Amino acid sequence: MAEPSRQLLLQVKGLQVAYGGIQAVKGVDFEVRAGELVSLIGSNGAGKTSTMKAITGTLAPSAGHIEYLGADIQGQGAWDLVKKGLVMVPEGRGVFARMSITENLQMGAYTRKDQAGILADIEKMFGIFPRLRERKDQLAGTLSGGEQQMLAMARALMSQPKLLLLDEPSMGLSPLMVDKIFEVVRDVYALGVTILLVEQNASRALAIADRGYVMESGLINMTGPGQQLLSDPGVRAAYLGE
């Protein structure tokens, strides 16, 4: 678990998000420190994805503050945030379907100029995701859902993130592929990448988290170490069907 002295990367304070007449996020507070894997769990419609979109600037908050590396980032575009090391793998993956795997990885490095480093990192991604190496010239749109998720994660890592946001990486995948995706998340975390993981799969997300936040109806109603939340009777009843 991260020590309190570690650098505060992300701080969300009093965040509210409304759209279409719906108050999706009603005032949430949470933080992520360098070297942590933090999970934000909750049922469908809890406000998790709206929170992620607000952080990355694709959805304007109606109230609250979002600070990254000690500075307010509201109103900044994705380009600027990626250059600062804040990178998200969105729900639904969003790969470039008509580009090859290798071309997708090259696009992930669009803010970089170090060509030798980019080539080295592509090889590194193929080491982390050997399935992608086997299909490196294949069009991304022809990959399975799990393979596309791997590609989306690898593409994000090509930008050398300080903080990687993963939005529902296991959604719609087979149980076998869910196992693989969570294995990859652990591997990426072991490399030293700080991760904010948003997931409906509470048991898997909390099992690998340093800390977790439980979100329901636009509010965070519980927080604590991942293993502590995993064993909490209320969490188990609400999210694990026990």
Q: Is residue 73 within 8 Å of residue 81, measured between CB atoms?
A: yes
pLDDT at 4 > cutoff 70: no
Arithmetic mean of pLDDT over the chain: 92
Q: Which amino acid is at 237?
A: A
Strands 71-72 vs 63-68: parallel, antiparallel or unpaired: antiparallel
pLDDT at 242 > cutoff 70: no
- Judging by beta carbons within 10 Å of its beta carbon (0-12, 13-18, 19+), is residue 95 exposed, middle or buried? buried
Query: pLDDT-derived band of residue 241, with 50, 70 and 90 as boundaries?
Result: low
Average pLDDT over residues 135-155: 95
Average pLDDT over residues 152-161: 96
Q: Which tokens sit at 91?
A: 């729900």
pLDDT at 3 > cutoff 60: no
CA distance 170 to 178: 5
pLDDT at 187 > cutoff 90: yes
Q: What is the pLDDT of residues 19-49, one digit of tens each?
A: 888 899 999 999 999 999 999 999 888 999 9
Q: What is the pLDDT of residue 10?
A: 98
Q: Is residue 68 within 8 Å of residue 163, measured between CB atoms?
A: yes
Q: Is residue 171 within 8 Å of residue 91, measured between CB atoms?
A: yes
Average pLDDT over residues 109-131: 95
The alpha carbon of 75 is separated from its chain's Cα centroid by a whole number of angstroms, namely: 20
Q: What is the pTM of this model?
A: 0.93
Q: What is the DSSP string of 54-97?
A: HHTTSS--SEEEEEETTEE-TT--HHHHHHTTEEEE-TT----T
Q: What is the pLDDT of residues 81-113, one digit of tens each?
A: 999 999 999 887 789 999 999 999 999 999 999
Average pLDDT over residues 4-30: 91
**Residues 34-46+77-239, CATH architecture:** 3-Layer(aba) Sandwich (3.40)
pLDDT, greater one: 163 or 237: 163
